[in-house]
């Protein structure tokens, strides 16, 4: 288990490095493959040995080797966050068929949340690629374990949440954009595979977080009733809450409902 957790953390560093590229380039409609990363200050291509996740940033003390231009702290932070999330998922699910799907899911959520937080945008390419990879993992898991009912549940949850979001978007486009509708399919599928209740918990956590943050910002005088919050960030956070706290919340709820006769 420890080896798996460490391996996932190291994989998370590398995936996080790629997510940095995705988060910067996709909203600017640039290719994620070409050209290779270069310093935004002097344009010098970044050598392989200066492109190691977190480590290079520390060794270079956050500055370009050629021109001393500062390199944003955001890069090592995203890499560390991905590594931390991957390690927690490894500890949560252990070795098995579910882990790869949830790792891909978490990486997709992190990229989408970062892009949505900055640009109020959930690029369809990122949603589609994440959903396709999660679906492929779940199909492979189903073939290996023959848990066809579980796959059907996951797809039904994806379709159900897509439909629910689609209706809200149709009736009140100002409340949530079509990016959120697409994202809801990915959420429904990945959470529905684990436990359909996680989906409900994820949506409730997202809306609760949105209401708390919104009221906090209004009280602090930093927002008004008409201000927007990036709903994709809230949905992604809610999904992470469901994955890690879902079982505890369900148990707590059962105790609260059935515990006092």
Binding site for Zn ion (CB under 5 A): 39, 41-42, 64, 66-67, 69
Identity of the residue, 5 or 51, whose beta carbon is nearer to Zn ion in the bound complex: 51
Q: Which is nearer to Zn ion, 66 or 80 (CB)?
A: 66
Q: CA–CA separation, 26 vs 32, rounded Å?
A: 7
State the angle between helix axes of 74-93 and 2-25 in degrees (0 to 180), rounded to the nearest 10.
Answer: 140
Using CA of residue 41, residue 123, residue 125, residue 18, what is the dihedral sign? positive
Which residue in the block uniquely carries the two structure tokens 């310093």?
A: 39
**Nearer Cβ to Zn ion, position 45 or 94?**
45
As a whole number of angstroms, the distance between CA 60 and CA 235 comes to 36
Closest CB to Zn ion among residues 24, 185:
24
Please give the helix or strand (H or E) that residue 163 lies within, else none.
helix 148-171
Structure tokens at 20: 């940095």
CB 35 to Zn ion: min, Å: 15
DSSP β-bridge partners for residue 70: 63
Nearer to Zn ion among residue 26 and residue 39 (C-beta): 39
Shortest approach of Zn ion to residue 69 CB, angstroms?
Answer: 5
DSSP label of 70: B
Q: Between residues 50 and 79, which has the closer beta carbon with respect to Zn ion?
A: 50
Shortest separation between residue 20's beta carbon and Zn ion, angstroms: 17
Token pair 């990229």 in the structure block, residue: 111
Structure-token pair, residue 233: 């960030």
Closest approach of Zn ion to the CB of residue 40, in Å: 8
In angstroms, give the least distance from the CB of 44 to Zn ion.
Answer: 5
**What's the min distance (Å) between Cβ of 50 and Zn ion?**
10
Residue among 114, 111, 229 nearest 176 (CA): 229
């Amino acid at each position: 288990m420890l080896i798996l957790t460490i391996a996932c953390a190291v994989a998370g560093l590398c995936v996080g490095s790629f997510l940095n590229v995705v988060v910067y380039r996709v909203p600017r409609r640039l290719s994620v493959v070409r050209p290779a990363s270069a310093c935004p200050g002097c344009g010098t291509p970044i050598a392989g040995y200066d492109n190691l996740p977190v480590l290079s940033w520390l060794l270079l003390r956050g500055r370009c080797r050629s021109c001393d231009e500062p390199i944003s702290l955001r890069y090592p932070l995203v890499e560390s966050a991905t590594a931390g999330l991957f390690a927690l998922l490894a500890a949560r699910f252990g070795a098995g068929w579910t882990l790869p799907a949830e790792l891909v899911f978490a990486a997709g959520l992190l990229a989408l949340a970062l892009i949505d937080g900055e640009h109020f945008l959930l690029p369809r390419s990122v949603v589609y690629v994440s959903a396709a990879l999660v679906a492929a993992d779940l199909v492979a898991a189903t073939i290996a374990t023959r848990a066809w009912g579980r796959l059907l549940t996951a797809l039904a949850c994806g379709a159900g949440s897509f439909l629910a979001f689609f209706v809200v978007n149709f009736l009140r486009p100002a409340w949530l954009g079509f990016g959120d509708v697409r994202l809801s399919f990915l959420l429904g599928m990945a959470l529905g595979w684990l436990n359909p209740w996680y989906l409900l918990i994820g949506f409730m956590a997202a809306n609760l977080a949105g209401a708390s943050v919104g009221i906090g910002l209004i009280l602090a005088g930093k927002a008004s009733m008409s201000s927007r919050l990036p709903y994709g960030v809230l949905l992604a956070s809610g999904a992470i809450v469901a994955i890690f706290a879902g079982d505890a919340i369900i148990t707590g709820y059962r105790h609260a409902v059935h515990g006092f006769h």
